[in-house]
């Protein structure tokens, strides 16, 4: 099967034929339907997250099960499954305490990412994030596939594995926005556009969307933001405080990445408000915060991973919001690419021309 392999840091992806390994007892083979090209993989491509080539990137996807290992239960050949960015083994410490977003199968695996295939020279190829969604086939732990029953197309449902889960989870699970509250969002990419929609559904009375790109601000307004602000020309902190009685917003959600964006998010939240941080720009980045903002003023600062979701609890609810029209994926899917055009998808993401570009695979 073909896969787009990162063979060297900061070099174009190479689309090549690989020999996929048969599934081990606890794993499944999934034929890929669609995989969003996430902006995170621009950072991975540049070598800033420690990925070691050769590796298949793509950390969330959707597809059809074509083969199962001998110990797999609850998943059958022919079922459509979501492959999110995080497994839920159900037995590790973190799953046991109700935080499967930190599952040890992803974060405490001394063997690293799994070897899923071999190239023509016999070199082992690993799957980034235990997924490797930039490929026609995925070899996945059974703990990281979730049956999805919906009439929605796979192109839309593929967004569930990363952007939708993280954006909605930031609002519903982390910030826990309630009707009448105010929300600031920093960095209007795909994740924040889902957070804007979630804040609207949660009944937020004011949603401040902050981004330097006018088209992204306009899209945020289309999807529910009540105020849009340009941090390059406006005093964002002053504007938010002026609109909230001098306090700042009840919640601030960041998904831009740079340290300055996270520092801004902390400042935007009122005293005793909530700050939700999602972005990571580079391993080792340091965020500098004024001590009184975190030690005296009562803010709750929450780090999130995949929206702190519990897939079996949250997936059906979020799918139903898409099915009912409560969430709109249309403006967020900006382009579709065959696998052979993955370098075009990466360039469009790097240049901020795409919100979510999808790699779409031939279902045959």
Q: Could you tell me if 7 and 134 are in contact, meaning their C-beta atoms sit under 8 angstroms apart?
A: no
Mean pLDDT of 327-345: 97
Per-residue pLDDT, 280 = 87
Q: Which two tokens stand for residue 319?
A: 């799918």
Query: What is the number of residues in the chain?
Result: 364
pLDDT above 90 coverage of the chain, percent: 92
Domains (range + CATH), the chain: 2-161+332-360 (3.90.180.10), 167-304 (3.40.50.720)
pLDDT bucket at 363, cuts 50 / 70 / 90: low
Please tell me the pTM assigned to this model.
0.94
Mean pLDDT of 230-242: 97
Per-residue pLDDT, 296 = 94
Whole-number Å distance between alpha carbons of 175 and 249? 12
Q: Smallest Cα–Cα separation from 250: which of 199, 295, 307, 290? A: 199
């Amino acid at each position: 099967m073909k896969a787009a392999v990162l063979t060297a840091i900061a070099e174009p992806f190479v689309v090549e034929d690989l020999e996929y390994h048969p599934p081990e007892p606890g794993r499944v083979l999934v034929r890929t339907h669609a995989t969003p090209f996430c902006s995170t993989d621009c950072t991975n491509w540049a070598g800033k997250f420690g990925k070691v080539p050769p590796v298949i990137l793509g950390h969330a996807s959707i597809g059809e099960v074509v083969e199962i290992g001998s110990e797999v239960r609850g998943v059958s050949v022919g079922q459509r499954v979501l492959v999110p960015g995080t497994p839920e083994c159900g037995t590790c410490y973190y799953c046991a305490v109700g935080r499967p977003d930190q599952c040890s199968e992803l974060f405490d695996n001394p063997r690293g990412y799994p070897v899923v295939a071999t190239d023509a020279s016999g070199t082992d190829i690993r799957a980034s994030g235990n997924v490797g969604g930039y490929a026609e086939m995925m070899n996945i732990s059974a703990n990281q596939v979730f049956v999805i029953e919906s009439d929605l197309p796979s192109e839309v449902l593929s967004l569930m594995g990363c952007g939708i889960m993280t954006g909605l989870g930031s609002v519903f699970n982390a910030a826990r926005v309630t009707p009448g509250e105010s929300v600031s969002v920093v960095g209007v990419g795909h994740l924040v556009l889902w957070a804007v929609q979630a804040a609207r559904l949660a009944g937020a009375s004011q949603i401040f969307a902050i981004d330097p790109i006018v088209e992204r601000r306009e899209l945020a307004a289309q999807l529910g933001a009540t105020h849009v602000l340009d941090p390059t020309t406006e005093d964002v902190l002053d504007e938010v405080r002026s609109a909230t009685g001098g306090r700042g917003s009840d919640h601030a959600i960041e998904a831009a990445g740079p340290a300055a964006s996270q520092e801004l998010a902390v400042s935007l939240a009122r005293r005793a408000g909530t700050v939700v941080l999602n972005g990571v720009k580079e391993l080792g980045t340091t965020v500098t915060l004024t001590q009184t903002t975190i030690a005296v003023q009562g803010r709750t600062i929450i780090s999130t991973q995949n929206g702190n979701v519990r897939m079996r609890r949250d997936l059906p609810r979020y799918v139903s919001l898409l099915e009912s029209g409560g969430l709109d994926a249309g403006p967020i899917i900006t382009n579709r690419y065959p696998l052979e055009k993955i370098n075009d998808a990466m360039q469009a993401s790097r240049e901020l021309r795409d919100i979510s570009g999808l790699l779409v695979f031939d279902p045959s």
